[in-house]
A and B are shown apart, each in its own frame.
Chain A
Amino acid sequence: MLLEVRNLSVSYKGIQALRDVSLHVNRGEMVALVGSNGAGKSTLLNALSRTVVPQRGQVVFDGKDLGRMAAFQVSRQGLLHVPEGRQVLADMSVWENLQLGMLALGQRPARYSLEQVYGIFPILEERADQIAGTLSGGQQQMLAIGRALMGAPEILLLDEPSLGLSPLMGDQVFDALTRLNREGLTILLVEQNAYRALECTQRAYVLDRGRIVMEGASDVLMRDQRVIESYLGA
């Protein structure tokens, strides 16, 4: 088990956003997390990367308890998070953003070279000197993913990676992610497009109002009546 989460609870100024969430991700797996707006998906990822400090609960990654670590140390362990809203460094160039991605390596060896990342997202090479803040929305999304890859993730947490991507680009990104997963990258995916998320993952969790309400194999969930009603559209 690469990542194990036990009884995680998070609240913001008295608002309980996550309640006793437990889940796990095995090495080499690609797991989806679905849920409607406000369910707490982003909060969960934030708590894993420790950009939000949970009240209770335990997160064990690769045998290490993350409870005592700061966000940057977690990243250096290889748990890399592509956050909601992309969060590119808006006044730095694309190339600089990618270079900074390598800081997460710490002492670990690189996993993807700059060329490989450019291979997945050719536009990034073309725009290497453009200031990241002036990229189009979709281009920024690619940069955010590419930047995380530069840090040699053991596990990649993706918060709505297809958001803002054209259908074609979305497909390409998902193809790329599936390929990376097949090559051994572990992925935890938050995605609004539940259909697509369930299609390309092996297992999934459904989050509702801060709780895990369902879990199971993705193809099973895809046929679940409740899932269809609430997330896939009738």
Chain B
Amino acid sequence: MSSLRIEDACKYFGGLKAVDGINMTVPAGRITGLIGPNGAGKSTVVNMISGVYSLTRGEVYLDEQQLTRLHVDEVARCGIARTFQNIRLLPEESVLDNVVIGYFRKQRSGVMSSLMGLPAALAETRRLREQAWELLGRFGIQKYADYEAGSLPYGHQRRVEMARSIAAAPRIVMLDEPVAGMNEVESAEMAEIFEDLARSGMGLLLIEHNVAFVSRLCSQVYVLDSGRMIAEGPPEAVTRDPKVIEAYIGGKADAA
């Protein structure tokens, strides 16, 4: 079973220590939570792992393979997928095509056969479109398949992005606030999907401000505050930790 590890990772922006010496493990087959106040550095962690940011210090490993200095596309080809906190779809493409592009990593037909329009390449396209269509079904947005992605309501755009990120069956997927903008009923649907994915062996890193949602799904939760890890452990323990309550959850109990 593979796992993603980051060791003593730091990211400084000028004087600002956005991430400051943290260690974390995201095991396969589990859902790992990463929570923390706004500006704690959660998205920065995702960007460091996925290769958008270089690390000021520290290392990233997938099993034994070092990812620290790989570029974005190389990291992705190792099987690490992500979504973006500010949704990033290809706005002019149809919803279906947005998902089809997600299969890139698993494509087998080469550039030449594509340029020459060989039957193998065409058949692959057909097959991928069907798979993408299935996947849209799983996220309940099949009926939007032919719409321009940019015209979908916010919540549906999130689903498209998630579908795209898991299309190529990554080993690890990092979801940055996947249910933001969804109500309880809608996020419950997403929860089911996440659990399915974990059962299939994928490792999920879930960043979310919905503590109840995180508690329900995650086996392990990390809490980041001002770039430092202030707590980690099973959700029940973490959410009762006074440091976490003070920095993050606040006095009032969360809804539902």
Contact with B along A8-20 (1 / 0, CB 8 A): 0000110100000
The answer to whether B211 has its CB under 8 Å from any CB of chain A is yes
Q: Are A171 and B252 in contact (CB under 8 A)?
A: yes
- When distances are taken between beta carbons in the complex, the residues of chain A under 8 Å from B177 are 137, 164
Docked Cα-Cα span, A121 to B186, in Å, equals 30
Q: Interface code B11-22, partner A: CB below 8 Å = 1, 0 otherwise?
A: 001000000000
A231 and B85 form a contact (CB under 8 A): no
Contact A12 B39 (CB under 8 A): no
Q: Which of B86, B153, B177, B182 has the most CB of A within 10 A?
A: B153
- Chain B interface (Cβ < 8 Å from any Cβ of A): 13, 35-40, 42-43, 85-87, 151-156, 177, 180-186, 188, 209, 211, 247-252, 254-256
Whole-angstrom CA separation of A163 from B38 in the bound complex: 11
Q: A208–B197 Cα gap in the complex (Å)?
A: 31
A218 and B184 alpha carbons, distance in the complex (Å): 18
Q: Which residue of A lies closest to B180 (CB)?
A: A163
In the complex, A63 has a CB within 8 A of chain B: no
Contact residue among A86, A123, A170, A192 (Cβ-Cβ distance under 8 Å from B39): A123
Which of A37, A42, A141, A195 is B182 in contact with, Cβ under 8 Å?
A37
- Known pairs A164-B180, A233-B256. 15 more at Cβ < 8 A? A42-B153, A84-B154, A135-B39, A137-B38, A138-B38, A138-B39, A139-B38, A163-B181, A166-B37, A168-B37, A196-B255, A231-B184, A232-B185, A233-B184, A233-B188
A137→B39 CA distance, assembly (Å): 8
| A54 nearest CB across to chain B (Å) | 17
A195 to B177, CA, bound (A): 19
A77 to B160, CA, bound (A): 38
Which chain B residues border A194 with CB–CB below 8 Å? Answer: 183-184
Shortest C-beta distance, A75 to chain B (Å), equals: 22
Counting chain A residues whose Cβ lies within 8 A of the other chain, the interface size class is 35 or more
The distance from the CB of B229 to the nearest CB of chain A, in whole angstroms, is 16
Cβ of A109 under 8 Å from chain B = no
Task: Give the shortest distance, in Å, between A150 (CB) and chain B (any CB).
Answer: 20
Closest chain B residue, CB of each to CB of A133: B86
Does A136 sit at the interface, judged by CB under 8 A?
yes
Q: Are A231 and B183 in contact (CB under 8 A)?
A: yes
- Which residues of A sit under 8 angstroms from B209, Cβ to Cβ? 138, 164-167, 170
Q: Are B183 and A36 in contact (CB under 8 A)?
A: yes
B38 touches A37 (CB 8 A): no
The answer for the CA separation of A164 and B35 in the assembled complex, in Å, is 11
Which residues of B are found within 8 Å of A106, using beta-carbon distances? Answer: none
Across-interface contacts of B85 in A (CB, < 8 A): 137, 164
For A42, the chain B residues whose CB sits under 8 A away are 153-154
**Is the CB of A29 closer than 8 A to any CB of chain B?**
no
- Binary contact track A195-234/B, C-beta < 8 Å → 1, others 0: 1100000000000000000000000000000000111110
Decide if A100 is an interface residue (CB 8 Å cutoff).
no
